[in-house]
Amino acid sequence: MKIGLFGFGKAGKAVASVILQSKDHSLQWIYRKTNRLTTRDAADFLGIESDDPGYFYSDKKMSVEALLKEHPVDAIIDFSSKEGIYMYGESAAENEIKIISAISHYSDKEVGFLHKLAQKATVFWSPNITLGINYLLYAAQFLKKIAPSVDIEIIEEHFKDKQGISGTAIRIADVLDVKDEKINTIRAGGIVGKHEVIFGFPFQTVRLIHESISRDAFGNGALFAAEHLINKKPGFYKFEDLLHPYFKV
Amino acid sequence: MKIGLFGFGKAGKAVASVILQSKDHSLQWIYRKTNRLTTRDAADFLGIESDDPGYFYSDKKMSVEALLKEHPVDAIIDFSSKEGIYMYGESAAENEIKIISAISHYSDKEVGFLHKLAQKATVFWSPNITLGINYLLYAAQFLKKIAPSVDIEIIEEHFKDKQGISGTAIRIADVLDVKDEKINTIRAGGIVGKHEVIFGFPFQTVRLIHESISRDAFGNGALFAAEHLINKKPGFYKFEDLLHPYFKV
Amino acid sequence: MKIGLFGFGKAGKAVASVILQSKDHSLQWIYRKTNRLTTRDAADFLGIESDDPGYFYSDKKMSVEALLKEHPVDAIIDFSSKEGIYMYGESAAENEIKIISAISHYSDKEVGFLHKLAQKATVFWSPNITLGINYLLYAAQFLKKIAPSVDIEIIEEHFKDKQGISGTAIRIADVLDVKDEKINTIRAGGIVGKHEVIFGFPFQTVRLIHESISRDAFGNGALFAAEHLINKKPGFYKFEDLLHPYFKV
Amino acid sequence: MKIGLFGFGKAGKAVASVILQSKDHSLQWIYRKTNRLTTRDAADFLGIESDDPGYFYSDKKMSVEALLKEHPVDAIIDFSSKEGIYMYGESAAENEIKIISAISHYSDKEVGFLHKLAQKATVFWSPNITLGINYLLYAAQFLKKIAPSVDIEIIEEHFKDKQGISGTAIRIADVLDVKDEKINTIRAGGIVGKHEVIFGFPFQTVRLIHESISRDAFGNGALFAAEHLINKKPGFYKFEDLLHPYFKV
């Protein structure tokens, strides 16, 4: 697939790196609000060998509308900010480009806009776009269904300076319908990110654990989404919609 | 449900203990090949307060045929030995009693006999009848389906004197189609039983862990099976057949 | 060593069981405030084969003074209650019997009394008398000394109905001088007891974990103490005093 | 302290990065066998803001003898290769510069040379120069001393492509005097590095776990060594020699 990327912060860089190294997909361009980089393309900037064009664009250089026409892509992956969707949403929908958004914190307004776009475009949104976390959310809900009265506790561990409770932990608590008091927050040193769900039965314990090694996991998750959206009709999709078919016997 | 139990070894005792303490089910009797116990019933023997009859029977006291007629049950739970099924199989099938076998090591002959019985009776067999392990088997297979090329390793930990590789670990390796070399066997002190499946992705790791606290977990698993078989037609059932409906959206 | 035991509650029973099975030590008797047991001795009650006398005594049968003279012991192990020490303290000190107390919650009054007894007797007190926890306390303090600015968090996991924060976790926080907010309390199912200390460095993490399998661990800890007190002069000893000599190079 | 660094491979870069960011130490220079980098200094190359000089030198630019005179340092940290010690050993010893070597695989010849240098210089060698692993080695030996008959197993987890058993795991097995069969080797995905020592007691389990987050841990370990060697007389030192004084009561 030909992919265009919005956003080139820490996560965006990691995602670009993964796409550049993928044999099945090519990074056509990266769009940034402002671009002061002097390097020509992402492969050069990141020190990766790749034949993908991966050029940087910004609104000073070219409008999004023009970009989508001159350098067409199959899918846009969005790691920019919650405002990003307004830059490319309409044009992408018109050009039948799939939209894959990994923005963590949308307000209701943006979510509404996504749903509106989904009437004519294939729109996917995941606030934590890793395969592992979405699997964990799915598998945990399944165990809760089987054993509704099991005791559930959540442990999330992150680096010392991470503020607040992890959004992913709140999401886990949410889908399992357990109170936020059951989230235990560990902040220590440089822990990249660990989420553990403990299911306590009277005579046995089940633990589901996800450990992040690097942000590059976002890249693999985004590509997993892209690949699973190829033949999907217009509509609004979440990560669990992509996982569900794997359960057909 | 009214339940009859075959076998009163370590696991059988633990299962009896759980049924005696259950409000929804009653332990009608326990059948043992030979019975030298002087205590009158299982509640007395185990020091549990219960109104369940739970009397001990053996072939010296009464034939299985007579027992099933005089003290009818809804289900037989079998924790005896691989020969046990021949003692009660035919009679149970004739009397429309559900058969729940937790025997770990059947030969092909017994499995064949179970399938024959399943033509007229509701027959269930699980070599490790805990909810946790069966959930883990199910959830692990699902992740393997989503990510076929993920690296998988298995760690099993048990008490010092446990001989050989754990049958459950071999089962896990089997359903995930990984080689037995990927099973890492830990033997140390008094560890009751721990199974861990590690899924290694390039930038993240997922771990599914099951820890046994006591054999009583077999009792809860057997009751889970019994409850889910109540309205099941004759046929042969495995634990995953009971878990599958929970995935219907 | 010849050992006398005060207390025969859950922990006391477990300790008696371990001593009865030890080849190096013998359980002379168990003293209980009231004794309604009809079984003759502890081995019989617990179903353990042993040549130890292990008879039950209570104040209705014999005074502690008389017991210590007629059935002398080398050490008293106390798993009774905080009042227990007043029953045997003076007599034990006079008869040069070592005192090993595993009472978790003494008030200042009892601790004062222990120190008074320690002027003429060898007195040992450990509120959590397992080898593993005391090792963990020791090893954790050592790491804190080496790396005073490391981030520390504590996780303690116990069965659902355990009330309050674990005393052991509070003790760990205390010796490491970290705030109680750093204790994360998990209550789920039938978890016997797990304590984890996380040391978070910028680029690495160290975890010290203690998992309880059964109360019998108290028995091994008490015997470890007994063996290490054999040649100790009168004085007041804590578990770390016994561990310290192992560090001499 | 003023520090000179030999070696600028993956580990060397990480160490340079840590020293450049340290307020208490300054990176004077990096010596490489050949230097084709066009960037002027390490701070520039690594994108770190720092006032440290951190210039690159090679034998084409200046001999080690001249470098040590013109740009004197308090300590040399060596992450180059086993031959590195021959480049700077004699000169460093003559100039009373402390030698800190983190080379993993020396032959006997190099170890012999280090000991010879130690007659006049302060020489330190650690094949795994992280604080966490050395703490774990120390703490594990201590537990083994207390409980000589405890069952010990080791688990080491690393990324898929790591060849052979981890040298650190072999070292752990060595100091604990357990057979190599007790090392369980996990290779999966992108796991940076995890070492777990399991101590199995009959009724409790103790686990010591070290998890690597990044190679930068080597930098902190090297600086820990440097700081603890400041007032050390000439002689040969290992990491445990630096940890030992922390145990003085």
Contact C187 A151 (CB under 8 A): yes
The phi, psi pair for A36, rounded to 5°, reads: -105, 5
Give per-residue pLDDT as tens, C66-94: 999 999 999 999 999 999 999 999 999 99
User: Where would I find the beta strands (DSSP E) of chain B?
Assistant: 2-6, 26-32, 55-58, 75-78, 98-101, 122-125, 151-158, 183-187, 194-200, 204-212, 235-237
Region B70-89: mean pLDDT is: 95
The two structure tokens encoding residue B151? 């690296």
Give the integer Cα–Cα distance in Å for B9 and A245: 43
Give the integer Cα–Cα distance in Å for A82 and A79: 9
pLDDT at residue C159 greater than cutoff 60: yes
Structure-token match 């000073």, residue found: A60
Give the integer Cα–Cα distance in Å for A4 and A68: 9
Distant-in-sequence contacts of D109-112, Cβ < 8 A, 24+ apart: D110/D82, D110/D85
Gap between the terminal Cα atoms of chain B: 29
Give per-residue pLDDT as tens, B126-182: 999 999 999 999 999 999 999 999 999 999 999 999 999 999 999 999 999 999 999
Q: From the CA of C18, how many Å to the nearest CA of chain B?
A: 14
Nearest Cα residue to C172 out of C209, C123, C200, C221: C209
D166 and D143 co-located in one domain:
yes
A47 and A139 co-located in one domain:
no
- What counts of helices (H) and strands (E) characterise chain D? 9, 11
D117 and D135 co-located in one domain:
no
A97 and A26 co-located in one domain:
yes
Chain B and chain C share a number of CB contacts under 8 A equal to 10
Report yes or no: A214 at the C interface, CB cutoff 8 Å.
no
Chain B and chain D share a number of CB contacts under 8 A equal to 78
B38 and B90 co-located in one domain:
yes
Per-position DSSP letters for B144-189, written without gaps between them: HHH-TT-EEEEEEEE-TT--SS-HHHHHHHHHHT--GGGEEEEE-T
Chain A and chain B share a number of CB contacts under 8 A equal to 119
Of C189, C198, C202, the CB nearest to A190: C202
Q: From the CA of B136, how many Å to the nearest CA of chain A?
A: 8
Which residue(s) pair with D157 in the sheet?
Answer: D186, D194
Is the complex ipTM higher than 0.85? yes
Give the integer Cα–Cα distance in Å for C127 and C104: 4
D47 and D169 co-located in one domain:
no
Residues of B with CB below 8 A from A205's CB? 132, 209-211, 213
Please give chain A's pLDDT, 249 residues, in tens: 999 999 998 889 999 999 999 999 999 999 987 767 667 788 888 888 888 988 899 888 889 999 999 999 999 999 999 999 999 999 999 999 999 999 988 999 999 999 999 999 999 999 999 999 999 999 999 999 999 999 999 999 999 999 999 999 999 999 999 999 999 999 999 999 999 999 999 999 999 999 999 989 999 999 999 999 999 999 999 999 999 888 765
Collapse the DSSP code of C100 into the 3-class scheme (helix H, G, I; strand E, B; otherwise coil) and give the result. Answer: strand
Contact D217 C208 (CB under 8 A): no
Report yes or no: A148 at the D interface, CB cutoff 8 Å.
no
Collapse the DSSP code of B121 into the 3-class scheme (helix H, G, I; strand E, B; otherwise coil) and give the result. Answer: coil
Give per-residue pLDDT as tens, D47-101: 888 889 888 998 888 899 999 999 999 999 999 999 999 999 999 999 999 999 9
A89 and A194 co-located in one domain:
no
Report yes or no: B150 at the A interface, CB cutoff 8 Å.
no
Residues 151-170 of C with CB under 8 A from A: 151-153, 155, 157, 159-160
Of A189, A191, A213, the CB nearest to D190: A213
Alpha carbon distances (Å) from B195 to A128, A137, D19, D225, D245: 28, 21, 42, 39, 40
Could you tell me which chain C residue has the CA closest to the CA of A190? C202
pLDDT at residue B208 greater than cutoff 70: yes
* Surface-to-core class of residue C228, CB atoms within 10 Å of its CB (0-12 exposed, 13-18 middle, 19+ buried): middle
Check residues A179 and C247 and name the one with the higher pLDDT: A179
What is this structure's pTM? 0.93
Percent of chain C at pLDDT exceeding 70: 98
Report yes or no: D10 at the C interface, CB cutoff 8 Å.
no
pLDDT at residue B247 greater than cutoff 80: no
Contact C184 A189 (CB under 8 A): no
Contact A151 C202 (CB under 8 A): no
Q: From the CA of B185, how many Å to the nearest CA of chain D?
A: 8
| Number of compact structural domains in chain A | 2
Predicted pLDDT of residue C38: 66
Check residues C34 and C212 and name the one with the higher pLDDT: C212
Percent of chain B at pLDDT exceeding 70: 98
Of A142, A201, A246, the CB nearest to B146: A246
Structure-token match 């590095």, residue found: D193
pLDDT at residue C4 greater than cutoff 70: yes
The CATH number linked to D28 is 3.40.50.720
Which residue(s) pair with C124 in the sheet?
Answer: C100, C237
HEC string of chain A equals CEEEEECCCHHHHHHHHHHHHCCCCEEEEEEECCCCCCCCEHHHHHCCCCCCCCEEEECCCCCHHHHHHHCCCCEEEECCCCCHHHHHHHHHHHCCCEEEECCCCCCHHHHHHHHHHCCCCEEEECCCCCHHHHHHHHHHHHHHHHCCCCEEEEEEEECCCCCCCCHHHHHHHHHHCCCHHHEEEEECCCCCCEEEEEEECCCEEEEEEEEECCCHHHHHHHHHHHHHHCCCCCEEECHHHHHHHHHCC
* Strands of the C235-237 sheet, one edge to the other: C55-58, C26-32, C2-6, C75-78, C98-101, C122-125, C235-237
A28 and A151 co-located in one domain:
no
Average pLDDT value for chain D:
93
pLDDT at residue B37 greater than cutoff 70: no
Q: From the CA of D222, how many Å to the nearest CA of chain C?
A: 13
Report yes or no: A136 at the B interface, CB cutoff 8 Å.
yes
The two structure tokens encoding residue A197? 């769900």
Contact B205 D186 (CB under 8 A): no
pLDDT at residue C243 greater than cutoff 90: yes
Could you tell me which chain C residue has the CA closest to the CA of D204? C212
Contact C198 A188 (CB under 8 A): yes
Neighbouring subunits of A (3+ Cβ pairs under 8 A)? B, C, D
Domain that residue C189 falls in: 131-212
Predicted pLDDT of residue B58: 87
Q: Are strands A75-78 and A98-101 parallel, antiparallel or unpaired?
A: parallel
| DSSP for residue D247 | G
Contact C209 D209 (CB under 8 A): yes
Predicted pLDDT of residue C249: 56
User: Where would I find the beta strands (DSSP E) of B75-134?
Assistant: 75-78, 98-101, 122-125
Give the integer Cα–Cα distance in Å for D104 and D125: 9
Q: From the CA of A23, how many Å to the nearest CA of chain B?
A: 16
Substitution target in D128, D133, D137, D146 with the highest count of C β-carbons within 10 Å is D146
Predicted pLDDT of residue D43: 87
Region B221-241: mean pLDDT is: 95
The CATH number linked to C189 is 3.30.360.10
Neighbouring subunits of C (3+ Cβ pairs under 8 A)? A, B, D
Residue type, A122: T
Gap between the terminal Cα atoms of chain A: 29
Kindly state the helix (H) or strand (E) to which residue D75 belongs, with its residue range: strand D75-78
C28 and C120 co-located in one domain:
yes
B114 and B231 co-located in one domain:
yes
Could you tell me which chain D residue has the CA closest to the CA of B198? D188
Neighbouring subunits of B (3+ Cβ pairs under 8 A)? A, C, D
Of B150, B188, B202, the CB nearest to D153: B188
Predicted pLDDT of residue A37: 67
Substitution target in A10, A196, A213, A216 with the highest count of D β-carbons within 10 Å is A213
Cβ count near C91 (within 10 Å): 17
Collapse the DSSP code of B70 into the 3-class scheme (helix H, G, I; strand E, B; otherwise coil) and give the result. Answer: helix
Structure-token match 């996982």, residue found: A243
Contact A202 C190 (CB under 8 A): yes
Residues of C with CB below 8 A from A188's CB? 151-153, 198-200, 205
Predicted pLDDT of residue D66: 94
Please give chain D's pLDDT, 249 residues, in tens: 999 999 998 889 999 999 999 999 999 999 987 767 667 788 888 888 888 988 899 888 889 999 999 999 999 999 999 999 999 999 999 999 999 999 988 999 999 999 999 999 999 999 999 999 999 999 999 999 999 999 999 999 999 999 999 999 999 999 999 999 999 999 999 999 999 999 999 999 999 999 999 989 999 999 999 999 999 999 999 999 999 888 765
C104 and C24 co-located in one domain:
yes
Contact C186 A153 (CB under 8 A): yes
The phi, psi pair for B194, rounded to 5°, reads: -140, 130
Predicted pLDDT of residue D249: 56
Give the integer Cα–Cα distance in Å for D74 and D97: 5
Predicted pLDDT of residue B249: 56
* Strands of the D75-78 sheet, one edge to the other: D55-58, D26-32, D2-6, D75-78, D98-101, D122-125, D235-237
Collapse the DSSP code of D248 into the 3-class scheme (helix H, G, I; strand E, B; otherwise coil) and give the result. Answer: coil
Residue type, B99: I
Structure-token match 């966490």, residue found: D132
pLDDT band at C175; cut points 50, 70, 90:
very high
Contact C200 A153 (CB under 8 A): no
Residues of A with CB below 8 A from D191's CB? 213
Q: Contact, D171 vs D129, CB < 8 A? A: no
Check residues A53 and C212 and name the one with the higher pLDDT: C212
Report yes or no: C39 at the B interface, CB cutoff 8 Å.
no
Predicted pLDDT of residue C35: 66
Which residue(s) pair with A3 in the sheet?
Answer: A27, A75
Report yes or no: A63 at the C interface, CB cutoff 8 Å.
no
Predicted pLDDT of residue B61: 84
Contact C186 A188 (CB under 8 A): no
Predicted pLDDT of residue B108: 95
Predicted pLDDT of residue D38: 66
pLDDT at residue C39 greater than cutoff 80: no
Report yes or no: C107 at the D interface, CB cutoff 8 Å.
no
Residue type, A169: A
Contact D202 C215 (CB under 8 A): no
Give per-residue pLDDT as tens, C108-145: 999 999 999 999 999 999 999 999 999 999 999 999 99
Chain A and chain C share a number of CB contacts under 8 A equal to 78
D23 and D92 co-located in one domain:
yes
The two structure tokens encoding residue B146? 């989503």
